[in-house]
Amino acid sequence: MILSVSNRFVLAASLFAATFSFSASAEAQAAPPLRVAIVGLVHGHVQGFLGKLAAHPEIALVGVSDPDPALRQKYIAKTHLPGSMFFATEAEMLKRTQPQAILVYTSIAGHRAAIEEAAPLHIAAMVEKPLATTVEDALAIQALSERYNVPVLTNYETTWYNSNTAAVKMLEEGKIGDLRKLVVHDGHEGPKEIGVDPEFLSWLTDPKQNGAGALFDFGCYGVDLATWILHGELPISVTAVTLQIKPKIYPNVDDDSTVVLTYPHAQAILQGSWNWPFARKDMEIYGATGYVDTVYEDAAPGAMLRARLTGEKSEHVETAPPLQAPQNDSLNYLAAVLAGTVKPQHDLNSLDTNITVVRILDAARRSAQSGRTIYLAREVAEAAK
């Protein structure tokens, strides 16, 4: 869901003080704040990060870079952060502020360049979903991460939904039997329709900068969940259909997508769209003996489940238990990874998972363009020979 600008900066007046103040507690004195910097201001999700930063005194924002002077000034005015924290280039910002991690809010195509600047300085990165627009860029990012031994994470809003973790736990505990079918729905009415900022809309609707339209913007959520649930397994086949339902609004990209992933004993159907009547991020997991659905509500996304488990005679609704830190929030997770208490492997945000996500998205894009099924597992195996 795209976060609105309104009310996001109510806390901004205290942001500078919260970022640079020293806690009186012994714990805070023993552990200095994690130094992070923002690269890029064109991604609307940056507003969500800035809005919650004041609630994370263990995180210190030390710099912001974007090449557009008007955009830098816009955020200086909105956040009341000092102008000295804003830089025209990432390189200058990294040199002057020396962060431990960058949070990347460029276009998706800009992720590789941002990491190419940071990784040689042994600075970790967390990018917004998906990791990259091409397999080539994804593999280049992986090579940088391995060469310089720095984490590269991909942030998905749905990682932090209680319901997703609770639903998959039911599956893993055998409460609905073996997985048979996964159906994921993601999207909203459309970026223009919901009023995203012009700098965000510009690259979202550019097939080079975004990778595609709704297929990459929202299809990636389902691909990420499917890859996690299937433990990183490549699908046997990828078949995708995309539509331009609103070509006058989105002339250059798809605005509706359906991707079907086939595995040896299961199927995933992933629907990413800019044509839903309401925003949604929900999924249905069908097992051999039961099912569990996550429920999306604007006021409480990721809080509720609907399920009919093995042996039950009817469906029931329940509240998903809260996630525990550091698995409950992107900043808690980032801090834990850098502290070495969490190893990002085979989870929703890890690099290995997201290399597979990009491979599947690339195959889906090729399938939609060509009208044919892509046999991805075989294709990757043959390329590795």
**Domains within the chain, CATH numbers bracketed:** 12-157 (3.40.50.720), 159-384 (3.30.360.10)
Q: Residue 8 has what pLDDT? A: 40
Question: Average pLDDT over the chain, rounded to whole?
Answer: 93
Q: Tell how far CA 45 is from the center of its chain.
A: 10
Q: What is the arithmetic mean of pLDDT over 102-106? A: 98
Q: Is the pLDDT of residue 15 over 90?
A: no
User: Rounded CA gap, 224 and 217, in Å?
Assistant: 12
Q: Fill in the DSSP letter of residue 286.
A: E
Mean pLDDT of 361-375: 98
Q: Is the pLDDT score of 333 beyond 60?
A: yes
Contacts (Cβ under 8 Å, ≥6 apart) of 368 = 215, 240, 241, 242, 254, 257
E strand or H helix at 81? none
Distance separating the N- and C-terminal Cα atoms of the chain? 41
Q: How far are the Cα atoms of 122, 220, 296 from residue 152, in angstroms, in the given order?
A: 11, 17, 29
Structure confidence at residue 49 as a pLDDT band (50, 70, 90): very high
* Whole-number percent of the chain with pLDDT over 90: 89
Residues contacting 270, CB < 8 A, separation 6+: 183, 184, 186, 219, 222, 223, 226, 257, 258, 259, 260, 261
Cα(96)–Cα(136) distance, integer angstroms: 31
Decide the pairing of beta strands 304-308 and 291-295: antiparallel
Strand partners, 316: 307
Q: What is the pLDDT of residues 219-248, one digit of tens each?
A: 999 999 999 999 999 999 999 999 999 999
Cα Rg, the chain, nearest whole Å: 21
Q: How confident is the model at residue 30 (pLDDT cuts 50, 70, 90)?
A: low
- Give the pLDDT of residue 29: 53
Q: Is a pLDDT exceeding 80 seen at residue 163?
A: yes
Alpha helices in 98-229 (DSSP H): 111-118, 135-148, 162-172, 191-194, 198-204, 207-210, 214-217, 219-229
DSSP H or E run through 307: strand 304-308
Q: How many CB atoms lie within 10 A of CB 17?
A: 9
HSE value, Cβ hemisphere, 13 Å, CA-based, for 340: 1
Q: Residue 292: how many CA atoms within 13 Å on its side-chain side?
A: 25
d(C-alpha 80, C-alpha 227), whole Å: 41
Give φ, ψ of 36 to 5 degrees: -125, 155
